[in-house]
Structures are given as structure tokens and as C-alpha cells.
Chains A and B, each alone.
Chain A
Amino acid sequence: MTEYLIRRILTAAMIILAMMVIVFFGLNLIGDPVYLLVDPSANQAQIEEARRHLGLDQPIWTQFWIFVSNALHGDFGHSFVFNRPVFDVIMERLPATLELAAAAFVIALSVGLPAGLYAGLRPKSYLSRLIMGGSIFGFSLPSFWVGIVFILVFSVTLGWFPATGRGDTVSVFGIQWSFLTWDGLSHLFLPALNLSLTKMAIITRLTRAGTVEVASQDYVKFARAKGVRGPRLYIKHIGKNVMIPVVTVIGIELGHLIAYSVVTETIFAWPGIGRLIITSILSLDRPVVVAYLMMVTLLFVVINLVVDLLYVALDPRIRLGSVQD
């Protein structure tokens, strides 16, 4: 168990290191990074000064080491646009994105899991066909278009939900949260639903496939032969086994939610890192782009690690380190 954990953490560290190598050498291959890292309006003397200041006159391995150690300290340089440390700029906006992604995740799970379970248990019923048909819509519809339609229908026409921003926030531990106020919650709902739809469809289909497979297993028949029925059969005997493969994918999907928030945040003017990266790319604010990339990689790696641990907690065959087949 501990050995498994250590191996996982080492793998995670390797991925982060690999990403640093790619980002760092990618920047060096594409051009002299000094032009990427100083203000484009700087003169020659300022550029040379910056080169020395940034250590770009050093050998490349030394530079890499400086980059890595700076990154580990959360130092990604200054944003051209905001003229502030990139780390601060990102950290300010990260909670908004995490809140949005988490809300979307909760919506996707609380609809997708029961819907998939139902569709798997009653594959022939009309409701199941409706669910499966709906799921095709779910991953066919481009997320940005759904967002537009949501605004048109629920904000412009019906006036039920506001279309932009986070609304009122409450500060907890020095971080602003929307979901704690009624106004914030109403601002959160549409973007979160928009972001969740694709994942909801994927989770539904995955859960259905898993349920169909598990439901035909002998141990389910055996449980029924013992007199087990109803919720106990569906949740304890079937659901728990379905969750094992589903959890892996769900974890990856959570990471995807953070990445795809770029679309939703742009449409709903949600002040998170997704909207930040788009404006930064458009305004050529490279330090922010680099920092965003490293940040998201780190998030992904952490999420994958958590998923692995969850997987272990769910499946006794792995937990006890004796997989037999």
C-alpha cells in the first residue's frame, strides 16, 4: 500500500517535470525567450538588462534549473498586462474557476450517475431511451452554443438567471465564494449547468455500460437469490461495482472541466482563470500563459493522484495488493 502510494507520487512528479521540460525548451526552441518575457516595447538596453536579470545569459541547463526552482517557488515572472506577479494574478482567479468546475462536477454526477444506473437496469424502457437519446445531444452540442442558448432563453427571454459575472460573494478564509449567497448561486447556476452537460452525458453513458455489465454478473443473481431487492440491490450490490471503472474516468473528467471552463467563462464573463488564459493569449501575455499551463498540469496531476487513491479505496482487490485473475 505505502509502496503503491510512493510509486504514484513519483509518477506524478515525473509528469510535472516532463511538462516543465516541454514548456521550457518549447519556449527556447521557438525563439529567444527574452522577447517573450519582456514588454514588447522595451529598448535594446532594457532587453540586455532583462536578459541578465532573468539569467538568460547563463548556460541552458543553469537556466532550466533557475526556471524550475523559480516555478517551484511560485515565481513565474510579471504579467505584461496586469504588471503584477503572474502567480498573484492567477491565484486571485483560481477560486472562481474551481468553484465553477466543482459545481458543474456535482451537477454532472448527481444527474449522470442515477440516469446511467436507471438506463442500465431498464434498458428497454422509454425513459431509458430518452436518457440515452438525450446523452447524444449532451455530447453533440458544442458547449459554447448551449451557453448562448441558455443566455437567450433563461436570461434574455425568461429573465430567470443573470447572464454575466459571479454576483455577490462571501469571503471565507480570505477567498471569495459565490455559492454562499443567493445572488451568487443564481449567477453560478447557468454557467455550471452549461459546463456540466458534456460530462453529464459521458458519465451517464459510462455508468449505463458498467451497469449493464455488472447486472448480468452471477453475484447479482446470487444477491437476488438471497432475497436482496430494490435500492439495496441497485446501490450496494450493483452500484459499488459500477463505480470502480467509472471513478477513474470521472476523475479525468474533473480535470477536463477545469480546461473546458475557458469556453463557459468567456460566454458568461465568469472571472476565473479560463477567461484569463483566453485574454492572455489574445494579448500575448506569455508569462501568464506559461504559468496557467504549469498550474493546470499540477491540478491534473493532483486530481489523478486523488482518483488513484479513491480507486484503491473502492476496490479491495487492489487495496490488499493481491490481484488475481
Chain B
Amino acid sequence: MFSLQLRDRGAQFARSPVAVLALIVLILLPLVALFAPLIAPQNPYDLSQVTIFNGRLPPGTEAFDGSMTYLLGTDEAGRDLLSAIIYGLRISIGIGLSSALIGALIGASFGLLAAYHGKRVDQAIMRIVDLQLSFPAILIALVLLATLGSGIDKVLIALIAVQWAYYARTVRSVALSEMAKDYVAAARSQGLGAARIMFRHILPNCLPPLLVILTIQTAHAITLEATLSFLGLGLPPTEPSLGLLIANGFEFMLGSEYWISIYPGLALLILLLAINIVGDRLRDIFNPKLEA
């Protein structure tokens, strides 16, 4: 019966051609990122392949030694921008997805804990969740980065800290409504342990809404990381995500070398649009009670 439901929902998803296109993009981009070394025309961080003489060349220019053509031009250090974008995609997706998954794990655990224990535990956890959610994500990230300092691990911590509360709130509300159902009482009466009931019985029912938030939160995390990197508070220059690439190009944009900033921006835009369109469609289909 569950697979039938799934097939129905798949059919419902496919009714929107835009959503299908977004889904295809969403499958392709991570593959591109994963196989970056095989796909990218050059390794932008191998100094033997990059020379400053090729700096800031417009799209379609050939390298001075004729070794390759820069389809999207080069940045100020003479890197092929297309390659830099493909490698940047790798970092952006990697950080966004891993922070969303860890955030989901932590948030879902606290959500289940709150729902299962109720009373004091629930109140304490939800107080913190509500308080955190009343502050904008970027502010919390700024506070953490200001006190912790910068670096890839700090950025990850900040992104996870920003996200966990969303998962906790959603999982708690779904779990609460699940626990009111008969099968949980039945499982309890059979003497099943709390952990077993939570993870084997309640958690699976939380998965559809969790999936929806996971999609949307991944987009949020990627955006936030890009924003922080753009502001100079995120990743170090050795880990150039799309946000950092855009920031690097910003100073040249007011001249006429727009491509250094705009193409990484377009890549980021396509990635985020694809995630959000798929997420939006999923939300319409599963229709869980989600707040904006």
C-alpha cells in the first residue's frame, strides 16, 4: 500500500514539467560535483596549470599558449572559470548537504525526545527551539562565527546550529500526532522499549515531512554559506565555494569584467532554484504543516 501511495505521488510530481526539469538538474549537478576532477577542463588549484598571464580573460578566449579555450573566461589568477565553478559546486553542495543532514539528525533526535518524554523535557527543548527560531539564521551564524572564528569546521558548526531547530519542531509535531495513534499504544503494551518505538515506529512516519524540510534547508544552508563566504566570514580562500568565487569577482564587476562574478552566481542560482522548485512540489504533494 505504501508503494502504491509512493507511485501516486510520483505521478503527481511528474504532472509539473518544471518540477521534473528541476529534478533532473538536481540529479545532474551533484554528479558533476562528485566527478569534478574528471569533468573539469583543468584543476583550478593545480598551480602548474594556472598562470597569472591568463588572468581575467573574457569568455571564449584561448589561453596564450593555446593549451585550452576558456569557455566562461578566467578569474584574476588566471583560473578557468568553468573549472573553478565545477569545483566550487563541489564545496557548496558538500557543505550544504552535510550540514543539513547532521542538522536533521540532531534536530530529529531532540524532536523525538521532546515528543516522547513530554512535560518538562518537551517544554525545555521547545523553549529553546522557539527562542532560536525567533532570531534570523544569519544573526545566529554571525554570533557564532564572531566568537568561534572562521574556518570550514566553524562554518559547519554555525550552519548546523542554525538548522537543527527547524527539524526539531517539525519532527516533534509529527511525532506527537503519531503517538496519539493506536499502534504506538499497542507497541508499548507489548513492552517494546522507548528507543525502539521511537526509531522503528515513529521516526519512519516523520520521514516525508522531514524530506521536504531537508530539501529546503539544504538550499538555505547553501545560500547562508555562500552569503557568509561573500562577506568574508565563511570559508577560507583555499576552499573556494561558489560564494567565495562571486566575492572574488565583485571588485572587477564595476569595471567590465562581469563574468568573474556573474557565472558562478548563475551556477549558484540554478542549483538553488532546482532545489527550491523540487522542495516546493514535494511540499505541495506531502502537504505537511510547515511554516514559511
Contacts and interface: CB of A to CB of B under 8 A. Distances in A.
A179 interface: no
A156 B292 contact: no
B292 A205 contact: yes
Interface in A70-103: none
Contact of A140 (B233, B261, B273): B273
Nearest to A22: B143
Contacts of B223: 142
Given A142-B272, A252-B134, A26 B147 contact: yes
A189 interface: no
- Counting chain A CB atoms within 10 Å of each CB, which of B146, B232, B291 scores highest? B146
Contacts of B146: 281, 286, 289
A277 interface: yes
Given A136-B273, A256-B136, A278-B233, A206 B292 contact: yes
Interface stretch (A146-154, A166-174, A213-221, A317-325): A146-154
Interface in A245-300: 249, 252, 255-256, 259-260, 262-263, 266-267, 277-278, 281-282, 286, 289, 293, 296, 300
A145 B227 CA distance: 9
A156 B227 contact: no
A18 B132 CA distance: 12
A27 B147 CA distance: 8
Interface in A131-190: 133, 136-137, 139-145, 148-149, 151-152, 156, 163
Nearest to B265: A145
A137 B273 contact: yes
A259 B276 contact: no
A249 B146 CA distance: 28
A139 B279 CA distance: 12
B131 A262 contact: no
Contacts of B233: 278, 281-282
B277 interface: yes
Contact of B268 (A142, A281, A289): A142
B145 interface: yes
A15 B227 contact: no
Contact of B131 (A15, A136, A139, A278): A15
> Chain A interface: which size bin?
35 or more
User: Do most interface residues of chain B lie in helix, strand or loop, or is the interface mixed?
Assistant: helix
Interface in A99-123: none
Given A156-B253, A277-B142, A281-B145, A140 B269 contact: yes
B220 to A, nearest CB: 9
Nearest to A280: B146
B226 A144 contact: yes
A144 B253 contact: no
A305 B268 CA distance: 37
A45 interface: no
A119 B235 CA distance: 40
A281 B142 contact: yes
Q: Which 5 A-B pairs have the closest CB atoms?
A: A259-B136, A256-B136, A259-B139, A140-B276, A140-B272
Given A152-B262, A259-B136, 14 more contacts: A27-B147, A136-B273, A136-B277, A136-B280, A142-B265, A149-B262, A249-B291, A255-B136, A260-B136, A262-B142, A266-B231, A281-B146, A296-B139, A300-B134
Interface of B: 18, 131, 134-136, 138-139, 142-143, 145-147, 219, 223, 226-227, 230-233, 243, 246, 250, 253-254, 258, 261-262, 265, 268-269, 272-273, 275-277, 280, 291-292
Interface of A: 15, 18, 26-27, 30, 133, 136-137, 139-145, 148-149, 151-152, 156, 163, 202, 205-206, 249, 252, 255-256, 259-260, 262-263, 266-267, 277-278, 281-282, 286, 289, 293, 296, 300, 304
